[in-house]
Each structure stands twice: as C-alpha cells, then as structure tokens.
Amino acid sequence: MTKTKLKITIAGAALLAAVATGAAVAATGSEPAPATNAEQQPQSSQAPQPPPVVPGTIHADGANVFPHSLDFDAESGTFFAGSLKHGNVFAVDKDGKVRTRIDDPALVSAQAVRVDPERDRVLVSNVDYGTAERSKKDNPFHVAGVGSYDRKTGEQHWCVDLTAVVGDGKPHLISDVTVAPDGTIYAVDELSPTLFRIDKKGNASILLRSDLLQGTLDIPNFLNDVGMAAVDWVDGNQLIVAMADGALVRVPVDNPEAAQKVQLSAPLDSPTAGMRVLDDGSIVAVSSGLLSGKPAQSQHVIPRNGWKEATVTVTDTVADPVTSDVTAGPDGKTYALSGGLADLLAGKPNKGFTLTPVKTE
C-alpha cells in the first residue's frame, strides 16, 4: 500500500522563521517592497504580538548554539544540550547561563544528548546536516555516529562510526539515543529503517532493520522518507520508537523481529520531535510545528497491555512552534526545547534558545 507523504519546502520553513521573528522577508532573502501611502498603518497596528511568556521559562544565552536535543542532569542541576552549529555539548544552568562542557573535533553536529548518571557519562549522536562549522557541505548526511563522554570532564571514552556498521554509502542521521539499565545503548536512524545496539565499550551492531521503521515524511529539496525521530527504553526490556509521522513502534529487545506498531487512541501530532519517560512509565511526547507554523503539542501517552496499546491526550502547547525535544528539569518539571532550527535552516543567526515548562497531564 502506498503511504501518504507530507510535503513541505525548506523555503516555507525559512519563511516561517522570518514571520516568527516579525521580519517580512521572503524565502529568497529579498526585502519586501515598501508599502504605499494607502497601505501604511500605524506602527503599533503592524507590530507582531510576542507569544505570552510561560512562568518558569528558561531563556538560555547561548547565541547560535542551535540545540536539537537536551537532557537533564539531576545531580548537578544542569541541562546538557548539543549544538547543531558547533558540534559541542553545552551545560545550561536554570538561570540560562551556557558554558561548553564537551568539545570534541570528532563531533560535526551534536544532535541527540543523553545523560547516563549510573555510568557517569553523556552520550551524543554525531550528525551532519551540512550547516555546521565542521560540515562537509558538499556531502551532508554521511556522518552518523554515537560518542560517549565523561560527565564531569567532557573527555571522550569512544566515538563509534555507524556508517561503517551499515556500509551502504547512503545518507544517515542518528536522531536519538537511549540507555537500558544494563548500560546498552540504542540509537535510531532517521533516514534508514535501522535500529542500532551499542555496548558499553562502543561496539556497535544492527539490532533491527524493518519496514515498520521506514520513514514516510518527505521534505522536498532537503530530506525524503524521514522516519524514526525518538527512542526510549521502557519496562519489559522494550524500546518505544516515535516515527515522524505520528506512529509509535514497540520493539522487544530480546526478540526485535516481533516489533509491531502500538495501537494508539489517536496518532501523535506530526512531526513527532522528542519523548520523555515519566516516573509512572508513561511517556510525554512533543511535536514540532516547524512545517506547519502551528504551536507544538505536548501529548501524554499512557500504555496498556505491555505497550501494545496506548491512549494519547494533548496536555499542553508551546507557542514557539519550532520545538524539537522534551526533557525533565528542576523541581520535577518537564521542559520543551525551542532551539532555533528554522533559523539554522534559513542560514540566520539567533541570540539563544528557550526551555518552556509544559503540563504532562
């Protein structure tokens, strides 16, 4: 059966970024023609209204960091956020102060970030959109890996090249990583139906390749067949994989070939961007409004029957539509990340990023 594919142009994303910042600049980058006298209005009526400020929002001062993912380190009370622009990983205090924690030349763009306190390490996925300082701009999406770093010093333990594991020469993008209680790492590839397993020493293998993990979301002139957006380990030694099109896939680690779609009461808002496992074993998932311009949605996913089924309810929205992840935070709160992805794709600078507290039920 042919699957319907959502199509959007990067020019549209660039235009969205311009509108969101109040600049009426077309996707070509040219300035609009000046208004005629008949069209001129008082400045107050033309000025865009900023979105309401949510109490507890953290405004990080990391200019041009462009994080896509972050994780909270409860011991130090800081967030770890990767940079798509610089390839570094930054520590972010709850007052918004940003400082470099990991600076490894092997990292082109740092996308997924996962704190593993039991093993005192931070896991980072290595990607290349062709927009970073270290990018191979004429050959994007051919860097795909995962690195392990000391949580306190930032020293590299190892950095594995997953393109060598696949060996097909095709585009790859490691969108997310998760850790099982035994320390095994699992990583998902957004551009191929490949789920990787990595042991504590950095030895990688393919856990599963399946049509269930094949992407169906197209971004013409940029990416085709965008698939796995996020992954989390859950009780029962299972992986829950969020697909960009709003589906969830359950993968039993001990029998990955038995993977199946989770029967949802309603699909997640597409494109799904990030997930967080709550203390009760349910999941909060956040969508991205990058393609639609609509507020991102925070959704609560409550499993039934061992994650074969789940109920989905919308619990909150994020006014900034360009949202890419959700994580724990201080005082038991859950935060959604708006990292400036639209500005990055449009080649524009930004002054920092925001973490907005969201309701999870």
Q: Is the pLDDT of residue 347 over 50?
A: yes
Of 64-78, 151-165, 279-293, 325-339, the poorest mean pLDDT is in 279-293
Question: Above pLDDT 90, what percent of the chain?
Answer: 77
Q: What is the pLDDT of residue 44?
A: 40
Residues 6+ apart with CB under 8 A from 251: 195, 207, 208, 238, 239, 240, 241, 259
Per-residue model confidence as pLDDT tens digits over 230-267: 999 999 999 999 999 999 999 999 999 999 999 999 99
Q: What is the pLDDT of residue 215?
A: 95
DSSP-H helix ranges across the chain: 10-20, 43-46, 162-166, 341-345
Per-residue model confidence as pLDDT tens digits over 60-115: 999 999 999 999 999 999 999 999 999 999 999 999 999 999 999 999 999 999 99
| DSSP one-letter string for 133-179 | TT--TTSTT---EEEEEETTT--EEEEEEHHHHH-S-----EEEEEE
pTM of the predicted protein model: 0.86
Q: How is residue 333 written in tokens? A: 């709160």
Average pLDDT, the chain: 87
Bond into 48 cis (ω within 30) = no
Q: What is the pLDDT of residue 322?
A: 85
